Amino acid sequence: MNGLHELFCTLLHAYNKRHWWPAKTPFEMMVGAILTQNTTWTNVGKAIANFGDRLSPAFIAHVNCDELAQIIRSSGYYNQKAIKLKALTEWYGKYEYTIEKAAHIDGELLRTELLSVKGIGRETADSILLYALHKPFFVIDTYTKRILSRLGYDIPTAYDDLRLKIEASLPRDVYLYNEFHALIVEHAKRHCKKKPSCAGCPVETVCQKRI
């Protein structure tokens, strides 16, 4: 996929560094990755705020599911997400709730483990790997597919096929993957929406406009 690094540089020039993922701790980031499924970041922020100073692996491990569901109610699908958070926390317990111990494990093995956790799919797993564990896995989401398709790239149907194509076209670098994905999200919010707003788009001159 030629031109991806140039696309990154163009978006970086347009939007500057995004400093994503907004979380105080790696565990908060992991929780956010579950909560953001099928909802907006605004709703996730409300759910995170509802924890107050209780957001910790120990709290989620011991609180009952009904109470947890009420805390995260604003994120939607709260009963299902409460179960998912319990499962994620149980997995994290293998590493004594210590991000350094988890990060010491090979990325592919961690990915396999995460994908075996109830409620964690590829996008969520790769988000956790990249943003919490600092492993070089590029996150594929709806925004990524939409933007690259409109720019004229052929997009494989399978998630991992696209992820591997992108990773093969870029240096294997955590910072680059982190910032690039965040810039893609920002570009999708400002210009490359479902109904695009092309005026002032920083990549309009090279966009194939496959809409």
| pLDDT, tens digit only, all 211 positions of the chain | 899 999 999 999 999 999 888 899 999 999 999 999 999 999 999 999 999 999 999 999 999 999 999 999 999 999 999 999 999 999 999 999 999 999 999 999 999 999 999 999 999 999 999 999 999 999 999 999 999 999 999 999 999 999 999 999 999 999 999 999 999 999 999 999 999 999 999 999 999 987 7
Token pair 């720019």 is found at 151
Tell me, yes or no, whether 161 and 77 share the same domain: no
Question: Position 163: which residue type?
Answer: R
As given in the structure block, the two tokens for residue 128 are 């956790």
As given in the structure block, the two tokens for residue 164 are 């591997």
Tell me, yes or no, whether 193 and 150 share the same domain: yes
Tell me, yes or no, whether 65 and 128 share the same domain: yes
Tell me, yes or no, whether 127 and 36 share the same domain: yes
Domain-embedded: residue 211? no
Sequence length of the chain is: 211
How confident is the model over 42-93, as pLDDT tens digits? 999 999 999 999 999 999 999 999 999 999 999 999 999 999 999 999 999 9
Tell me, yes or no, whether 98 and 143 share the same domain: no
CB atoms closer than 10 angstroms to residue 64? 9
Report the pLDDT value the prediction gives residue 154, as an integer from 0 to 100: 93
Report the pLDDT value the prediction gives residue 19, as an integer from 0 to 100: 85
CA distance 110 to 15: 32
CATH of the domain at 32: 1.10.340.30
**With contact defined as beta carbons under 8 Å apart, do 72 and 82 qualify?**
yes
Number of domains in the chain: 2
Q: Of the candidates 49, 55, 52, 50, which has an alpha carbon nearest to the alpha carbon of residue 27? A: 55
Domain that holds residue 181: 4-19+139-206
User: Who's near 211: CB < 8 A, 6+ residues apart?
Assistant: 150, 196
Task: Respond yes or no on whether the N-terminal peptide bond of residue 91 is cis (omega within 30° of 0).
Answer: no
Token pair 């992108």 is found at 166
Tell me, yes or no, whether 106 and 185 share the same domain: no
The residue out of 85, 113, 132 marking a domain boundary is 132
CA distance 183 to 139: 12
Tell me, yes or no, whether 151 and 94 share the same domain: no
Tell me, yes or no, whether 50 and 97 share the same domain: yes
Torsion angle, alpha carbons of 36, 39, 45, 47, to 10: -90
Tell me, yes or no, whether 39 and 128 share the same domain: yes
The H-assigned helical ranges of 16-116 are 26-35, 41-51, 57-62, 65-71, 78-93, 99-103, 107-115
Tell me, yes or no, whether 70 and 108 share the same domain: yes
First to last CA, the chain: 20
Q: Structure pTM?
A: 0.94
User: Who's near 202: CB < 8 A, 6+ residues apart?
Assistant: 10, 11, 13, 14, 187, 191
The residue out of 84, 104, 132 marking a domain boundary is 132
